[in-house]
Amino acid sequence: MDLSYSPEEIAFRDEVRAFLDAKLPKEMSDVIRAGGELGKEGHDRWHAILNEQGWLAPNWPKEFGGAEWNAVQRHIFEEECAAAYAPRIVPFGLSMLAPVLQKFGSKEQQDHYLPRILSGEDWWCQGYSEPGAGSDLASLKTKAVRDGDHYIVNGQKTWTTLGQYANWIFCLVRTDPEAKQQEGISFLLIDMNTPGIEVRPIILLDGTHEVNEVWFTDVKVPVENLVGEENKGWTYAKYLLTHERTNIAGVGFSQAGLNAVKRMAKAEKHKGKPLIENPHFAARVAQVEIDLMAMSTTNLRIISKAAVGQAPGVEASMLKVKGTIIRQEINDLARRAAGPYAMPFASEAVEGDNMPVGPDYAGPVAAQYFNNRKLSIFGGSNEIQRGIIAKTMLAGG
């Protein structure tokens, strides 16, 4: 049993730190630290910086231009990025679609799409969820009907994250309506500029626009955009979902969030003393920190198994549930720390040439609290994850 990183891992961490120190633009980390959004240009810029370093695709094999890091290295990288307030890497092309193409795509598809993901030429978004099919993904209804050398796609996708920036979407579509639910689904790559596609914004409760509805009306998709075999899309979708689960515990985000809460609670005064010295507030901060310390080790235990090739199964669900509970608790503490200055609408409080409203840390905290309610809903809600855990434990797998 050795709880610390090996000398190689420490050397790797130092390399990552030095890189972030030298290459992460300060104006970018300032925006992330203040709870702001980068927009497409900012994401593209960070994407290009990482690509130049060869670190854009940590999970890809070297033959496709990836860094081929093991799970511990990826974890170290993610933790350091979170601590430095680096932008989140937009995962749709890099860590969702690419593994599917690498395993199931044709040589032509690999040669065409993978370099364009690295270069940033294509921005992918995800067409999985539908209004009637949330955590019950297999009940999706969007149809694709073969017509000569095209599919004709009709239907609606929803919760399409950053779809407003995307020029391509990977979609699950129903190609055999007669088949059982999980059969008869295919995996299609669709150019967002095809006639018949409409992207409509969904404004979230904190006023942000990060998700969209995507509507398909008689959209013609060439058959060569089918990945793998027709009606076998569920297999690829499941494969994709296991890859979506990297950094599922979000330890780095929680650690950064907790540090922010402590900074705020030092600055805020409660009856003349720093809020952090208030026993009730301090107790709540301590509780979540204790949970986070243990989860950080739980996370490393699972990662070190994964690094030697043991794929995480039900443990991923456990990390999802506990990790989101901890992150949401930290968001709640941040909101409370801000006191009455949590009330202004965030964009007003942070932006504009006007005099700022309240301390700079207070503006976004309530909006973040509300926005991060999504953490326990998306990617398979916590109820679904608990179901998986219970089923595995109680039914013996």
Partner 1 sequence: MNFDLTEERQMLQDTLRRFLRDRYTTETRNTIIDSEAGLSAEIWGELAELGVLGALFSEDQGGFGGAGFDIAVVFEELGRAGVVEPVLDTALICGGLLTELGDDDQRQLVEELIGGALHLALAHSEPGSRYDLDAVETQIVQNGSDIVLNGRKAVVVNAEAADHLIVSAREAGGLSLFVVPSGTAGVSLRGYPMLAGGRAAEVMLDDVQLPESARLGAGGRALSALEAVIARANVALAAEALGAMETATALTREYLLTRKQFGRPIGTFQALQHRMADLLIEMEQARSAVINAAGYLETDQRDKQIASARNLIGRAGRLVAEEAIQLHGGIAMTQEYELAHIAKRIVMTDHRFGDTDYHLERFIELSAA
Binding site for partner 1 (CB under 8 A): 129, 132, 134-136, 139, 158-159, 202-207, 268-271, 278, 280-281, 284, 328, 332, 335-336, 338-346, 348-349, 354-355, 357-358, 366-367, 369-371, 373-374, 376-378, 381-383, 386-387
State how far Cα 306 lies from the chain centre: 20
Pick 284 or 305: Cβ nearer partner 1: 284
Between 65 and 155, name the residue whose CB sits nearer to partner 1.
155
Which DSSP state fits 287?
A: H
The nearer residue to partner 1, 66 or 323, going by C-beta atoms, is: 323
What backbone torsions phi and psi does residue 395 show, to the nearest 5 degrees?
-105, 10
Considering the complex, state which of residue 150 and residue 270 has its C-beta at the smaller distance from partner 1.
270
Contact assessment for residue 369 and residue 330, using Cβ atoms and an 8 Å cutoff: no
Rounded Cα distance between 329 and 334, Å, is 9
Active site residues: 244
Angle between the N-to-C axes of helices 71-83 and 7-23, in degrees from 0 to 180, rounded to the nearest 10: 40
Do the bridges between strand 124-127 and strand 168-174 make them parallel or antiparallel, or are there none, so unpaired? Answer: parallel
Q: How far is the CB of 70 from partner 1 (least distance, A)?
A: 34
**Cβ at position 272, least distance to partner 1 in Å:** 8
The nearer residue to partner 1, 122 or 206, going by C-beta atoms, is 206
- As measured in angstroms, the least distance from the Cβ of 322 to partner 1 is 15
- Please report, as a single letter, which amino acid is at residue 6: S
- Name the token pair of 321: 């549930």
Calculate Rg over the CA atoms of the chain.
22
Q: Which helix (H) or strand (E) holds 296?
A: helix 279-307
CB of 357 to partner 1, least distance (A): 6
Which amino acid does the sequence have at 297?
T
Kind plus residue range of the DSSP H or E element containing 103: helix 98-104
CB of 193 to partner 1, least distance (A): 27
* Least gap, CB of 153 to partner 1 (angstroms): 22
DSSP assignment letter at 356: P
Q: Which helix (H) or strand (E) holds 269?
A: strand 269-270
- Whose Cβ is closer to partner 1: residue 255's or residue 371's? 371
The CB-of-328 to partner 1 minimum distance in angstroms stands at 8
Cα distances (Å, whole numbers) of residue 155 to 144, 186, 205, 265 = 9, 14, 25, 49
- Identify the residue whose tokens are 């949401």: 328
CB-nearer residue toward partner 1: 155 or 380: 380
382 vs 325: CA distance, rounded Å: 9
Q: Which residues pair with 215 in a beta bridge?
A: 156, 198
